[in-house]
Amino acid sequence: MTHSSRTAIAEGVLTPRILSRKNKRRMVKSCALLLAPLSVGLAACSGGSSGNSLASAPYDATDAVAVNADADSTDVDPDKPLEVTAQHGDTLTDVVATDASGRVVAGELSADGKRWHSTGSLAAGARYTLKVSTENDEGAPGRRSLRFGTKSASKHLKVKLGPDNGTYGVGQPLTAKLSRPIKGREQRELVERALRVKSSPHVEGAWHWVDSKELHYRPRSYWPAHATITLRSYLKGLKIRDGLYGGKAEPVRMKTGDRIEAITDASSLVMKVKKNGKTIRSIPVTTGKAGYETRNGVKVILTKEPYVRMTSASIGASDFYDLGVYWATRLTNSGEYVHGAPWSVGSQGVSNTSHGCTGMSSANAKWFFNHVRQGDIVQHINSAGEKMAPFGNGFGDWNLGWKKWRAGSAVHHGQPLGSGPADSARLRPQI
- Total-model pTM: 0.73
Considering 156, 208, 339, 380, which one is annotated as catalytic? 339
User: What top-level class would CATH report for the domain 157-256?
Assistant: mainly beta
DSSP letter at 336? B
User: What top-level class would CATH report for the domain 260-400?
Assistant: mainly beta
- Of 83, 177, 174, the closest CA to residue 130 belongs to 83
What's residue 194's pLDDT?
96
Residue 289 has pLDDT above 50, yes or no: yes
Residue 258 has pLDDT above 70, yes or no: yes
Task: Work out the number of other CB atoms within 10 angstroms of the CB of residue 27.
Answer: 16
- Of 132, 125, 135, 63, the closest CA to residue 97 belongs to 132
- What is the distance between the alpha carbons of residues 82 and 70, in angstroms, rounded to a whole number? 11
Is 326 within 8 Å of 362 (Cβ atoms)?
A: yes
CATH number of 8-149: 2.60.40.3780
Residue 354 has pLDDT above 80, yes or no: yes
Residue 31 designated active-site: no
Residue 117 designated active-site: no
Q: What are phi and psi of 69, to 5 degrees?
A: -135, 125
DSSP-assigned letters across all residues of 157-200: E-EEEES-SEEE-TTPPEEEEESS---SHHHHHHHHHHEEEEEE
How far is the CA of 230 from the CAs of 106, 200, 258, 265, 281, in angstroms? 27, 9, 18, 35, 32
Residue 12 has pLDDT above 90, yes or no: no
Is 152 within 8 Å of 245 (Cβ atoms)?
A: no
Domains 8-149 and 260-400 share a fold: no
Type of residue at 329? T
- What is the distance between the alpha carbons of residues 370 and 376, in angstroms, rounded to a whole number? 12
Digit-coded pLDDT (tens) for 204-250: 999 999 999 999 999 999 999 999 999 999 999 899 998 899 999 99
For the chain, the structural domain boundaries read 8-149, 157-256, 260-400
Type of residue at 286? T
388-408 mean pLDDT: 97
Is 288 within 8 Å of 354 (Cβ atoms)?
A: yes
- What is the distance between the alpha carbons of residues 13 and 45, in angstroms, rounded to a whole number? 7
Question: ∠ CA 97-98-101 to the nearest 5 degrees?
Answer: 170
DSSP letter at 104? B
What's residue 242's pLDDT?
87
Name the strands in the sheet holding 260-265, side by side, starting at the edge strand that comes first in the sequence. 278-284, 270-275, 260-265, 377-381, 297-300
Confidence tier at 322 by pLDDT (50, 70, 90): confident
Range in 54-68, 249-263, 299-313, 317-331 the model is least confident about: 317-331
Digit-coded pLDDT (tens) for 145-200: 999 999 988 889 999 999 999 999 999 999 999 999 999 999 999 999 999 999 99
- What is the distance between the alpha carbons of residues 372 and 227, in angstroms, rounded to a whole number? 17
How many CA within 13 A on the CB side of residue 28?
A: 5
Considering 357, 371, 380, 412, which one is annotated as catalytic? 357
